[in-house]
Structure 1
Amino acid sequence: MTRAPDILCIGSVLWDIIGRSASAMRQGSDVPGRITRGPGGVALNIALSLSHFGLRPALLSAVGSDAPGEELLALCASRGIDTSHVWRSSELPTDQYMAIEGANGLIAAIADAHSLEAAGDRILAPLQDGSLGSATTPHTGPIALDGNLTAALLTQIAHDSACSAADLRVAPASPGKAERLLPFLQTGRGILYVNLEEAGILCGRPFASAADAGSALCDRGAARAIVTNGAEATADAGPDGLLTGQPPPVLVTRVTGAGDTFMAAHIAAETRGADRATALDRALQAAATHISGDIAT
């Protein structure tokens, strides 16, 4: 692969094991359904969607030198994703994610990203050694960053001169990791992609709407904040004002990866010059398509 990537995706690259049932579930439920295994992780989900939208992403992550890792990277290559900068370990296994989804949404999930966390800043070497940038010649393209990285590494990136000229797009990965994004509020770097609950965690108070949450995040220092709220209105808040968009109504058949698809579609639209309203609409449409299960990303 000789062509330069259109965007870097930094974060989790792993296998998703998802159990889905058409029944509503609660703690202790034992119901019929389907169990699937597929590529996952926030960074990889975004990369796969970006590739689907016609962009050429490159991954910065950690993958084991084991059979699951080889299979995963071969799949990435077949989808047009550059994996030449992925850090490989002979001692750490390829990470995994396991989730249970019912008709009433995500019931529970466990993200085993121990190898990514153990790799630390070794995954960022290409941004330091001149391969994709350095402290003196910072990377200038878009970067999609996910909160599965450790708090220490995210803090490092938020202050790193090697990322100072990049178009940073940051997602927390889950509400439990939302506080890891606080350095991006403190430095005013990056566009944050969060849901209503994650925005509340970052601001230390609940919100009734995405519009209120987006405005509050900007007041706290965010350069720009895009806040989703399920089937309710989504908000894009920033220096150009507040914009809202309504997700189209769809039958929910899957939820894992919907936020990643939304973020990828939004980045792809803006990379191609779409205005804020158009980019938001395309992102909402893409997420709705993903949730309805009409296409695989």
Structure 2
Amino acid sequence: MTRSSNAGDGQAPDGAPVPDIDVVCLGESMVTFLPRLPGRLADVPSFDRAIGGAESNVACTLARTGHTTRWISRVGTDGFGDHLLGAIADCGVDVRHVRRDPLRPTGVYFRTAGDRATGTHEVAYYRAGSAASAMTAADLDPAALYGGRILHLSGITAALSADCLGLLTELTTRRPGRPLLSFDVNYRPGLWQDTARARVLLDLARGADLVFVGDDEARDAWGLHGPRAIREALPEPHTLVVKQGKAGATVFRRTREPGGCCDDATGTATFVPALDVDLVAATGAGDAFAAGFLSATLRGLPDRARLRHGHLWAAAALTVPGDLATPPSRPYADRLAALDDPAWAGLHLAPGWTDAATSGHRADEEVSTH
């Protein structure tokens, strides 16, 4: 079976076999401990166990809406590794290519219940020397790694060790026959000794086909200000998505497409405002946005719809306390993504909104008047 397609949309080149996996995600996942009560880590008496990891979050979120996904990583031969593999597999993700390391532990971390953007938020990582930090290109099965329509990576992996940086450098080197390479910059200041070292993320992003980056990340890591400056620094990716926080997001594409607003220096540019949501926790929203955008990309939807699906899936994560949220069903998300601009701007999404399609209470029937 073959598919004739545009490889820039993450599909197989003309005459190539159709991959049996939609998205392959590579990166570290950790066991996450979420406090049962608000307060400082020093004061919280008990925690609930969950999972957290940018790439596995993307794989799980996509799998929950029917996409075929694979997660590749390393975990320890400990109970935490067992938990990660079981929990991620339960989401419908293929975990058969995750290696077990008898010498290194599975990473864990603890965080407070507050919003990560506030000064009171605390995160305590225990990932130094983890099994995932020992990943190298030599350890990976190329058939499993390159067997999807999209290979999704993030800059977090590059910060884990010299071996992991070498792996990301190898994977972002352009070569014939690779799948669409998606790269989420995911700049985490705590993982980099200084911003000078974080400049390597810019080099890695230049080797990708599709890049996600927050304008705040680009400012803090690279000294770039605004979507246009980011695009000028990253002309190589076919598609660049600049997330602009509560304002919205802009997608740049090198080729002109109908409906785009033409930018003579960077190709087409399309902006879609973010949604008004009742925030519960911001953790995982960026991963959910990437998953929503990738889902719409796999379906060949136009840029405006890709951004809207990213915002909708991010809104699902913003309205739950953990890293992972179940996005709205595909028909429900499609209906919301097709709203006209005034109706989209008037949407207000509260916790539980993704269940509205089955409960008979739809978010698009609750357009506010602000």
Structure 1 length as normaliser, TM-score?
0.82
**Distance verdict in 2 for CA 1:109–1:29, change over 3 Å:** closer
Q: Alignment partner for residue 238 of structure 2, among 204, 223, 230?
A: 223
Q: Which residue of 1 aligns with 2:337?
A: none
Q: Which protein is richer in strand relative to its size?
A: 1
1:195 aligns with 2:224: no
1:17 aligns with 2:36: no
Q: Which residue of 1 aligns with 2:123?
A: 109
- Quote how far apart the aligned CAs of 1:265 are: 0.9
- Quote how far apart the aligned CAs of 1:103 are: 5.2
Question: What do the CA deviations read for 1:190-216 (whole angstroms, capped 9, x no partner)?
Answer: 2111111222245x3242x4x335433
Letter aligned with residue 296 of structure 1: A
1:148 aligns with 2:148: no
3-state SS of 1:165 partner:
coil
**Distance verdict in 2 for CA 1:33–1:112, change over 3 Å:** closer
- Quote how far apart the aligned CAs of 1:30 are: 7.2
Question: What do the CA deviations read for 1:226-249 (whole angstroms, capped 9, x no partner)?
Answer: 111221121111213111111111
Q: Alignment partner for residue 174 of structure 1, among 187, 191, 210?
A: 187
- Quote how far apart the aligned CAs of 1:164 are: 5.0
Q: Alignment partner for residue 85 of structure 1, among 88, 97, 105?
A: 97
Q: Distance in 2 between matches of 1:111 and 1:83?
A: 24
3-state SS of 1:148 partner:
helix
Check the 8 A contact 2:24/2:145 in 1, yes or no. Answer: no
What RMSD in Å do the two structures reach over aligned CA positions?
Answer: 2.8
Q: Which residue of 1 aligns with 2:261?
A: none
Q: Residues 127-166 of structure 1: matches in 2 within 5 Å?
A: 127=142, 130-133=143-146, 139=147, 141-150=149-158, 151-159=165-173, 161=175, 165-166=178-179
Letter aligned with residue 149 of structure 1: T
Q: Which residue of 2 aligns with 1:296?
A: 325
Q: Distance in 1 between matches of 2:41 and 2:104?
A: 34
Q: Which residue of 1 aligns with 2:329?
A: none
Q: Distance in 2 between matches of 1:143 and 1:131?
A: 10
Q: Which residue of 2 aligns with 1:136?
A: none
**Distance verdict in 2 for CA 1:20–1:270, change over 3 Å:** farther
Q: How many percent identity over aligned positions?
A: 22
Q: Which residue of 2 aligns with 1:286?
A: 313
1:262 aligns with 2:289: yes
Q: Distance in 2 between matches of 1:20 and 1:199?
A: 34
Q: Distance in 1 between matches of 2:155 and 2:126?
A: 13
- Quote how far apart the aligned CAs of 1:160 are: 6.3
Check the 8 A contact 1:215/1:242 in 2, yes or no. Answer: no
Q: Which residue of 2 aligns with 1:253?
A: 280
> Larger radius of gyration, structure 1 or 2?
2
Check the 8 A contact 1:47/1:81 in 2, yes or no. Answer: yes
Q: Residues 27-42 of structure 1: matches in 2 within 5 Å?
A: 35-42=47-54
Unpaired runs of 5+ residues, structure 2, are 1-18, 159-164, 193-197, 256-267, 327-370
Q: Distance in 2 between matches of 1:247 and 1:91?
A: 45
Q: Distance in 1 between matches of 2:109 and 2:232?
A: 32
3-state SS of 2:60 partner:
helix
Letter aligned with residue 62 of structure 2: L
Structure 2 length as normaliser, TM-score?
0.67
Check the 8 A contact 2:242/2:249 in 1, yes or no. Answer: yes
Check the 8 A contact 1:96/1:112 in 2, yes or no. Answer: yes
**Distance verdict in 2 for CA 1:293–1:186, change over 3 Å:** closer
Q: Which residue of 1 aligns with 2:253?
A: 238
3-state SS of 2:170 partner:
helix
**Distance verdict in 2 for CA 1:20–1:242, change over 3 Å:** farther
Check the 8 A contact 1:5/1:58 in 2, yes or no. Answer: yes
How many residues are treated as equivalent by the alignment?
277
**Distance verdict in 2 for CA 1:215–1:223, change over 3 Å:** same
Check the 8 A contact 1:227/1:234 in 2, yes or no. Answer: yes
Q: Alignment partner for residue 71 of structure 1, among 61, 64, 83?
A: 83
- Quote how far apart the aligned CAs of 1:225 are: 1.6
Check the 8 A contact 2:155/2:183 in 1, yes or no. Answer: yes
Letter aligned with residue 142 of structure 1: I
